Structure 1
């Protein structure tokens, strides 16, 4: 067990070090694209990490998690459109709106289990998608262009590629640390106990729905943060961000890296999005190659990449 943990820790540390040094590599080689690509990867890794909290640790298979990406992004875009450029206001609204939406979805969907839970979360996400598509004042189906990035009063310049990248990376690492604290707290242990045996946890006096709802809201709020960063990264937000296929992408990242592991979703996001970029440059039918590769990982890499590292190390 000790060597397995060491292998996973070394892989996580190497990944963090590479992400920290990436801007220096980009500057030395003059490769601006790699910094742009990894800024997007870091943001989506943050969203995957938030999904892992409910899916990997809480056992809640949400198929509507991308809705919070859109809500966070639209909070930034709509406020910018209305002349409110303060990043403090925009991000606060993004987090609050995502938390409120998660509270409503969680309060209703957590009354069900299994496939019914999956379908209700999917239905709410699609509802958010169609609402955003109907916002004619804010672009409707065509999306909303954001002409000025969030202003933090000189604290950080989001128009500077390197500063923005490090802001996104700092948010990712802070969220990973927060989730580590959560899952190792009494609250987190209860949530993990509910995933394993909800009836037994209820029998000893834990209010299962209350714990799961709080966990659900935390995950939605953190994904809303990713949405606010994504809107600033692309200078654009559209309903497509909320579509169910984006939720599927986030689930693939979590499963690929390793559900219920701290850095698994980050590893999964990096691998999935780098493969997507490389294969899309080789052929327009890249999905036909990506599909079987992911299937092989699922079939032979039980526990994802982090699980595979542990087994190889033990072997």
Structure 2
């Protein structure tokens, strides 16, 4: 019989990490605070795509559309003269992204393989041009969030997001929520069905699963979580532009989960940390000198080396050591 305490061990590391991250602002400079928030938002975005690619086997090249829609809904729904309430603003951003994910998924999931990849890319580019070529999104310059939202309970202000430490707390809580939600989903019958679809969809259909519905539900959930990341991005930066919906943002988040490791949730977080830090390193003239002007090349070569040497991603290092 397995002792009750041993069943709690898998929770110890995530809780310890969460506690360490909660205490981190006390020792961070403003620059490192902004960088850490950027990493945490990227981790939420990467986790949302991990549900599609790593769990369900659906490789999407248009995931940035949901990130951008979440960001634009956050800014467009916020009044210019006062801070909007987070009680409805974050759900609205997630709902907007989920609605577009439902539309895109309902059509794109009727295709497979490379056709699915191209259809998701096409829908993302459509959304990109809507915000880029119309006054709705402010054109190529984007739009500004003049007053950041607040969280109030009655007359008491719980969060004022003009304070960077409180933005950090909100982003960290959102990451914990995303991780917890996906961890529960993966342990449920729904999560097991998604993993079965990734392994052999034809067999899942043969035993009675309506795989289209499962895939569509996963697509919508992933879109909603990407919308949450977009809302947090808008709150942090105070400005959004159409580049958030571009194909290279979708490619970047795909690289994150490949770099970290496809499948486990921790792979998305490790990949987001590694990708963001590598990008920051290679773009810093103080650290790499003249090579900073060519950071895309050095970053690309580094990722190629990682993928070649670590086909299971960074989290696969543990597996390789254990099998040696």
Q: How does 1:37-48 map to 2 (within 5 A)?
A: 37-48=35-46
- Separation in 2, partners of 1:39, 1:264: 18
* CA separation of 1:106 and 1:187: change in aligned 2, threshold 3 A: same
Which of 183, 186, 191 in structure 2 is aligned with 1:188? 191
The equivalent of 1:80 in structure 2 is 78
| Structure-1 separation of matches of 2:214 and 2:237 | 35
2-structure distance, mates of 1:15, 1:250: 22
Give the superposition deviation at 1:158: 1.2
CA RMSD, Structure 1 to Structure 2 (Å): 1.8
Question: Which residues of structure 2 form unaligned runs of 5+?
Answer: 1-9
Structure 2 Cα separation of the partners of residues 284 and 21 of structure 1: 35
Contact 2:137 2:242 in 1 (8 A): no
1:253 paired to 2:262 = no
Tell me if the contact between 1:302 and 1:308 (Cα under 8 Å) persists in the aligned partners. no
2: CA distance, partners of 1:15 / 1:304:
21
Structure 2 counterparts to residues 232-271 of structure 1, below 5 A: 232-271=235-274
CA shift in 2, pair 1:103/1:82, >3 Å: farther
> Does 1:297 pair with 2:299?
no
Question: CA contact under 8 A between 1:52 and 1:265: conserved in structure 2?
Answer: yes
- Equivalent-residue separation in structure 1 for 2:212 and 2:160 (angstroms): 41
CA drift of 1:292 comes to 1.4
Contact 2:125/2:246, CA 8 A, preserved across alignment: yes
TM-score, with structure 1 as normaliser: 0.92
Deviation at 1:50, TM superposition (A): 0.5
User: Which shows bigger deviation, 283-292 or 105-114?
Assistant: 283-292
C-alpha separation in 2, matches of 1:139 and 1:89: 23
Give the deviation of 1:291 after TM superposition: 1.1
Asked if 1:71 is matched to 2:69, the reply is: yes
Residue 310 (str. 1) matches residue 319 (str. 2)? yes
Shift of 1:81: 4.8
Report matched runs for 1:47-62 at 5 Å. Answer: 47-62=45-60
The CA deviation at 1:138 is 4.0
Shift of 1:246: 0.3
Tell me how far apart the structure 2 counterparts of residues 48 and 85 of structure 1 sit (CA, whole Å): 27
Listed one character per residue, the Cα deviations across residues 9-39 of structure 1 (whole Å, up to 9, x for unaligned) are 998677545533321221xxxx210001110
Q: Match of 1:156, SS?
A: strand
Aligned residues: 304
Distance in 2, matches of 1:184 and 1:240, equals 35
Q: 1:97 aligns to what?
A: 96
Equivalent residue number for residue 4 of structure 1? none
Question: What's the CA shift for 1:96?
Answer: 1.0
Provide the secondary structure at the position in 2 that maps to 1:159. Answer: coil
Normalising by structure 2, we get a TM-score of 0.89
2:137–2:241: 8 Å Cα contact kept in structure 1? no
- Which structure has more relative contact order (CA 8 Å, sep 6+)? It is 1
Contact map agreement 1:58 1:191 (CA 8 A) in 2: yes
Q: Which residue of structure 2 lines up, in the alignment, with residue 225 of structure 1?
A: 228
d(CA) in 2 for partners of 1:292, 1:17: 35
The structural deviation recorded for 1:221 is 0.4
Equivalent pair of 2:80/2:147 in contact (CA under 8 Å): no
Once the two structures are superposed, residues 137-182 of structure 1 have per-residue CA deviations (whole angstroms, 9 ceiling, x without a partner) of: 5411110011111121212121111111121011112111111110
